[in-house]
């Protein structure tokens, strides 16, 4: 069963949260109380802003990245993950994977070039 775009973006955000948890644990079995607070704040800080061309993924006051939301993009297919070039603009030099295909490489800090 193919996910719709909203479900695929939600799955991407869950992967981002998992990466932050792994980073926060730093090889330990449990988080400290401060670590638990930081992970909770990170996890609750996500905002998804749909637009005509892109879905912007924000965590607190930073843009994590963008996802192409249209089938009418001249360079990228719908679901392509793009790094942020700025607050309102994605970097259109390379796609960083696709939310529908999986297998993308991301970190909690942003999408990575594949």
- pLDDT tens string 44-85: 999 999 999 999 999 999 999 999 999 999 999 999 999 999
> In this structure, is residue 43 part of a structural domain?
yes
Q: What is the mean pLDDT of the chain?
A: 95
pLDDT for residue 103 is more than 90: no
Decide if 26 is inside a domain: yes
* Cβ atoms of 71 and 78 closer than 8 Å: yes
Kindly state the DSSP code that residue 4 receives in the 8-state scheme.
Answer: P
59 domain-assigned: yes
On whether residue 113 sits in a domain, the answer given is: no
Percentage with pLDDT > 90 across the chain: 92
48 membership: H or E segment, kind and range = strand 46-50
Stated pTM of the model: 0.93
Structural domain includes residue 114: no
Report phi then psi at 14, rounded to 5.
Answer: -60, -40
Domain count, the chain: 1
Helix-then-strand count for the chain, H and E: 2, 6
Domain range for 33:
5-108
- The 10s digit of each residue's pLDDT in 34-43 is 999 999 999 9
């Amino acid at each position: 069963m193919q996910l719709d775009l909203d479900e695929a973006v939600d799955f991407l955000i869950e992967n981002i949260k998992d990466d932050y948890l792994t980073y926060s644990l730093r090889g330990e079995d449990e988080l400290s109380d401060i670590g638990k607070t930081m992970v909770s704040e990170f996890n609750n800080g996500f905002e998804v802003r749909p637009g005509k061309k892109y879905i912007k993924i924000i965590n607190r006051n930073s843009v994590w990245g963008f996802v192409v939301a249209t089938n009418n993009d001249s360079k990228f297919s719908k679901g392509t993950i793009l790094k942020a070039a700025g607050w309102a603009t994605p970097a259109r030099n390379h796609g960083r994977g696709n939310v529908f295909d999986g297998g993308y490489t991301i970190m909690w800090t942003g999408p990575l070039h594949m």
